[in-house]
């Protein structure tokens, strides 16, 4: 489920290209802080994640670790709050470094209703993020995953992991975000496809 947590964090981080250069620099640790449940909440108003959908965007036969039967609730998900995630991940063979995630992000243009591609600017937006094993090493793995033998650290062991329901605490995004987004994350290990996940989401701040 590390892919899901990563994509959630990047929803806010990818949107950061709208900020000025100075602000982007101060947000450079936003992925790590969000994934590690750092306290980013400001004020009482809660951001809502509405109409959240999660899909596998590749051929499961070609993936090292295809995700299936992923269910996310409630709808809407309020931030700060708790998302409940269930699903299956079938890791066919052990994988690890070099681990990278390539992100493609689109935002719906509210004027003409087209989907605008968010380019990579200053490591924000539709970028490729290397060194994912280093990032994962700094994140506390949920006890529910540890009990299944999945410790969220590289290398990831082979096996079938069924997660009945995992509660994921989520803090408020470190930057203001509004709009409809499509986020496609392609994770590879040594050039081999690990998994492809696409998130469609409407964010209301």
Taking residues 87-95, report their average pLDDT: 91
d(CA 5, CA 129): 15
Specify the pLDDT at position 60: 92
List pLDDT tens digits, range 166-200.
887 777 765 666 788 888 999 999 999 999 988 88
Does residue 39 or residue 162 have the better pLDDT? 162
Beta carbons within 10 angstroms of residue 122's beta carbon: 13
pLDDT score recorded for residue 45: 56
Sign of CA dihedral 169, 175, 181, 183: negative
pLDDT at residue 114 is higher than 90: yes
pLDDT one-digit tens code per residue, 33-70: 444 444 344 344 577 878 778 889 999 999 999 988 88
> Residue 94 is encoded by which pair of tokens?
């052990």
């Amino acid at each position: 489920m590390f892919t899901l947590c990563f994509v959630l964090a990047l929803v806010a981080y990818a949107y950061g290209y709208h900020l000025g250069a100075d602000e982007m620099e101060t947000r450079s640790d936003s992925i790590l802080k969000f994934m590690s449940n750092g306290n980013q909440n400001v004020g009482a108003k809660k951001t809502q994640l509405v109409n959240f959908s999660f899909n596998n965007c590749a051929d499961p036969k070609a993936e090292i670790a295809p995700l299936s039967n992923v269910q996310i609730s409630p709808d809407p998900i309020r931030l700060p709050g708790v998302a409940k995630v269930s699903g299956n991940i079938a890791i066919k063979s052990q994988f690890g470094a070099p681990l990278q995630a390539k992100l493609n992000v689109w935002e719906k243009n509210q004027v003409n209703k087209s989907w605008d591609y968010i380019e990579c600017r200053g490591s924000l937006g539709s970028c490729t993020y290397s060194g994912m094993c280093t990032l994962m090493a700094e994140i506390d793995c949920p006890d529910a995953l540890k009990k299944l033998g999945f410790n969220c650290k590289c290398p990831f062991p082979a096996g079938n992991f069924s997660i009945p329901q995992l509660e994921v605490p989520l803090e408020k995004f470190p930057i203001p975000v509004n709009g409809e987004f499509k986020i496609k994350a392609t994770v590879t290990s040594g050039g081999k496809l690990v998994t492809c996940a696409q998130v469609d989401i409407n964010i209301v701040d």
